Amino acid sequence: MHLLGDLLMSIIIKSPREIALIKDAGKIIIDLFDILKENTLPGKSTWELAKIAGDFIRSRGAIPSCKNYEGYPGEICVSVNDTLVHGIPSKKIILKEGDIVSYDVLVTKNGYTADACRTYPVGKVSEEALNLIKVTEEAFFVGVKEVKPNNRIGDISNAIEKYVESFGYSLTDEFGGHGVGREVHEDPLIPNVGKPHTGPKIVKGMTLAIEPMVNLGKKDVKIMDDGWTTKTCDGKICSHYENTVVVTDDGYEIITLKKGE
């Protein structure tokens, strides 16, 4: 979500019943990623991929909640190569060998929402691209290790920042993670850059979407004329990885991750 928005903090702590419902939404995303991965092939349009996603989500009795979120037109976000976030599915955007593509998915079931994103290679891609995808995923795991009661949100941000910058990659400060569950975007904001021991305290029962967005080149991004598609200014590739996590008594549980991944 956009970090320049509302600064008011009102973090919703979820009950065990609500957490179970958010997990139900998360399970649909886990299965959806398998389907999207299989379908990430040269020649497919981003529109076709979003259609597959929307149909699958609805077949599971859920809602693809990107659609109509603040007017966003797609059922999921599909972002190719130098598009960091909010790529709008299009029949004109056709995947080709060597591309990388991210699928950012919001699923709402019985009123509760989970949020996750994966970036996949299309066919054979460069070592550089594979490494960027890997580091982005690892950045999530480095960040999520900081999720435990009494740590602060800034501990997550700082861990992600230090890790990503150690590879010479960069992170935008214009988008970041967020609370999720009753709403698509809840407090707190979870920037991907920040200082340790700052920000709101982490409390059991919070549900958080942590989402490193990593640029191979410079951190600057621009929003296109469609009002959504956000690209790197330098035209270099970028990667995005996100999971929804629940804060537990002594740490976290990741609810949009397939067992063994």
Q: Which residues bind ligand MF3 (CB under 6 A)?
A: 1, 66, 69-70, 72, 77, 86, 104, 106, 115, 209, 211
CA 88 to chain centre: 15
CA 129 to chain centre: 18
Least distance to Co ion, CB of residue 254, Å: 14
Kindly list the residues in this chain that would bind Co ion in the complex (CB under 5 A): 115, 209
**Nearer residue to ligand MF3 within complex by CB, 52 or 77:** 77
Least distance to ligand MF3, CB of residue 72, Å: 3
With CB cut-offs between 5 and 8 Å by kind, which of Co ion, ligand MF3, none does residue 167 bind? none
Least distance to ligand MF3, CB of residue 29, Å: 10
Strands (E), the chain: 63-64, 77-80, 83-85, 100-109, 112-121, 170-171, 176-179, 186-191, 207-210, 213-215, 221-223, 230-232, 238-240, 243-247, 252-254
With CB cut-offs between 5 and 8 Å by kind, which of Co ion, ligand MF3, none does residue 72 bind? ligand MF3
**Nearer residue to Co ion within complex by CB, 152 or 240:** 240
Residue 200 to residue 186: CA distance in whole angstroms = 13
**Nearer residue to Co ion within complex by CB, 131 or 200:** 200
**Nearer residue to ligand MF3 within complex by CB, 50 or 133:** 50
Least distance to Co ion, CB of residue 4, Å: 16
Residue 24 to residue 65: CA distance in whole angstroms = 15
Residues 6+ apart with CB under 8 A from 148: 202, 247, 250, 251, 252
Least distance to ligand MF3, CB of residue 226, Å: 11
